[in-house]
Amino acid sequence: MPSIIKARMFAIPVVVIAAIGTAGTLHAATIPATPPGSQISGTGAGGTGIGFVFATTAPGNDNSILGSPNLISLNWAFTAIGPIDFVFTPDNAGDTGPSNTTEYLFNNVEVHNMTGLTWTGFQFQLGSTDDTGVFHPGSTLVDFDTPGNDPSPTSSIGFSSFSHLDKTLAFLGGSVVPSSTVFVSFSIDVPDSLDSPFTLRATPAATPAPEPASLLMLGLGLAGGGAWRRYLRGALD
């Protein structure tokens, strides 16, 4: 066979794949809704979580300024200071909408403090989890609705420090007392054609434990008080 014909036979499938690549497979990636009667769950050293993903009614709605109608509801029950992870797997096959990023609103996510400790706050991170269960922060194309940042994330209690980055959302400088629940809302962007899993991690920030030096001072103070009481008793006898 002349080499020119061989080259053409090779070229035709390449052209077909290229056409599908630009027109047929680029869709707004969406997160499949939780099947009726079931729920998604979160796990980790911090406790457990449950939640629901509702049907994506507005695929490809990036730069949603009002809250996105694509809703995810989550409930995090922290029994220890440690992370709880939810893993989501977007699907880019079922959408016929425009090729664009899809925004999701985590609406009034519930963060329960059942750790017995007062927290200064908590943070959320986006990343991925590898086959051995190790979390890699930042290792995903999903972001916390940046650069638009609107609507701004909200919380049911006040925090003096709030940080909104691509892959990290931190609420700090507050007081989350034991047995309380904080309601938080924020958005994420799931980019075009993403079909690999991503992880949303939440971790409480506990009030720092007293330093050994201050414990020593406290111990000396108590011992000093005991000596003073003994002195007073002696003086009165």
Give the residue with the Cβ less far from Ca ion, 56 or 64. Answer: 64
189 lines the binding site for Ca ion (CB under 5 A): yes
Alpha-carbon distance of 179 to 115, in angstroms, equals 8
Alpha-carbon distance of 76 to 113, in angstroms, equals 9
Q: DSSP letter at 54?
A: -
Count residues binding Ca ion (CB under 5 A). 8
Which residue in the shown chain puts its C-beta closest to Ca ion? 189
CA distances from 24 to 93, 96, 98 (A): 10, 10, 12
Q: Quick one: which segment of 31-39, 48-56, 148-156, 195-203 binds Ca ion (CB under 5 A)?
A: 148-156
* Maximum alpha-carbon separation in the chain: 121
What tokens appear for 128 in the block? 């991925």
- Binding string, residues 72-111; x marks residues near Ca ion by CB under 5 A: -------------------------------x--------
Alpha-carbon distance of 56 to 71, in angstroms, equals 7
Q: Quick one: which segment of 127-135, 155-163, 189-197, 215-223 binds Ca ion (CB under 5 A)?
A: 189-197
143 lines the binding site for Ca ion (CB under 5 A): yes
Between the two ends of the chain, the Cα-to-Cα distance in Å is: 120
Alpha-carbon distance of 204 to 122, in angstroms, equals 4
Q: Quick one: which segment of 12-20, 47-55, 122-130, 146-154 binds Ca ion (CB under 5 A)?
A: 146-154
192 lines the binding site for Ca ion (CB under 5 A): no
CB 205, min distance to Ca ion, A:
25
Give the residue with the Cβ less far from Ca ion, 150 or 195. Answer: 150
Q: Give the binding site for Ca ion (CB under 5 A).
A: 62, 64, 103, 143, 145, 148, 150, 189
